[in-house]
Amino acid sequence: MTNTTLICGSLAFDKIMQYHGRFADTLMADQLHRVNVSFLVPTLRTEYGGCAANIAYNLNMLGGDPLIMATLGQDGGEYLERFARFGISTRAIRTIEHAYTAQCFVTADDDNNQINAFHPGAMQFSHENNAADMGALRVAIIAPDGRDGMIKHAADLAALGVPVMFDPGQQLPMFNGEELRTFIGQATYLAANDYEFEMVMERTGWTQDEIAGRLEALIITRGDKGSEIYAKGERHDIPCVQADAVVDPTGCGDAYRAGLLFGIVNGFDWPTTGRLASLMGAMKIAHQGGQNHVATKEQIAQRFETAFGYRF
């Protein structure tokens, strides 16, 4: 049986700028209807981002077999080279020559307030990819991506009989109740943080028990309070793993989902799967950016044993 995990989601560049001051000292509350300001940002860094890339990076580190199905723009060559260096397949990544790769421009001030601008670019054409062209798959995840792509890929994968994890993330507000009910009906697993899941319940009109009853597993993350997995009428409380440092939460949810997917592919029970996911999130949060933490599979196994007292 194949162990390939199809990862449908965004690929993006994050441009992160630091303003050495406070937005509140420049922005006048009574003049926000005609803002024309410029912030000097002495520091600028580019991070490789996008949910699909973050998940694939972590799954590859675990020894999994990620297959990214996504879209890059005309400026995406360096991202393809990066995947090649890590041995991550790029055969399912489509280049959209008339668009730029999705990019998030983040300006932060000294109080950690942020002003963000997001350009979706090539991500808007993710629906041009076809799951049926990907070959044999063990499991798939629908992570945040272009709206049309998320709808198409979920339907296609359900028709193919591939188990699907639905992870709407920051794209959740794009979908109404009927669309979310359809997604849940097509999915095998649903992963969301506590805020997102409250929105899912509000929009679908379904209770937590009703949603969990339609899935093999419902996963709800709660930040430093850990997470919960509801499967086959059981609730599994997953503890939060102590991080070496709390540096940057960007990509922690993606690292967590990579742990979930690895556990599913390898037939782990839900307590072990959730604990591995929790560990991956803790390892990520100690580093800046979504793809700058490094560990071998053996090092991850050792950290797991230290945290939980047994090997996965």
pLDDT digits (tens, 9 = 90+) for 296-311: 999 999 999 999 999 9
pLDDT at 94 over 90: yes
pLDDT at residue 34, rounded to an integer: 83
- In the sheet with 114-119, reading across from the earlier edge strand, the strands are 43-49, 12-18, 102-108, 114-119
Average pLDDT over the chain, rounded to an integer: 95
Give the strand pairing for 164-166 and 189-193.
parallel
Q: Token pair for residue 6?
A: 């199809």
Quick one: pLDDT band at residue 32, thresholds 50, 70, 90? confident
Q: Could you give phi then psi for residue 47, rounded to 5 degrees?
A: -115, 145
Q: Is 103 exposed, middle or buried (0-12, 13-18, 19+ CB in 10 A)?
A: buried
Quick one: pLDDT band at residue 28, thresholds 50, 70, 90? confident
pLDDT at residue 35, rounded to an integer: 79
The whole-angstrom separation of Cα 253 and Cα 221 is 8
The whole-angstrom separation of Cα 83 and Cα 60 is 10
Residues whose CB is less than 8 angstroms from the CB of residue 298 and which lie 6 or more positions away in sequence, other chains included: none
The whole-angstrom separation of Cα 312 and Cα 293 is 21
Quick one: pLDDT band at residue 113, thresholds 50, 70, 90? confident
Q: pLDDT tens digits for 147-159?
A: 999 999 999 999 9
Q: Can you list the domains of the chain with their CATH numbers?
A: 4-11+51-100+123-308 (3.40.1190.20)
Q: What is the pTM of this model?
A: 0.94
Higher pLDDT, 28 or 226: 226
Percentage of residues in the chain having pLDDT higher than 90: 89
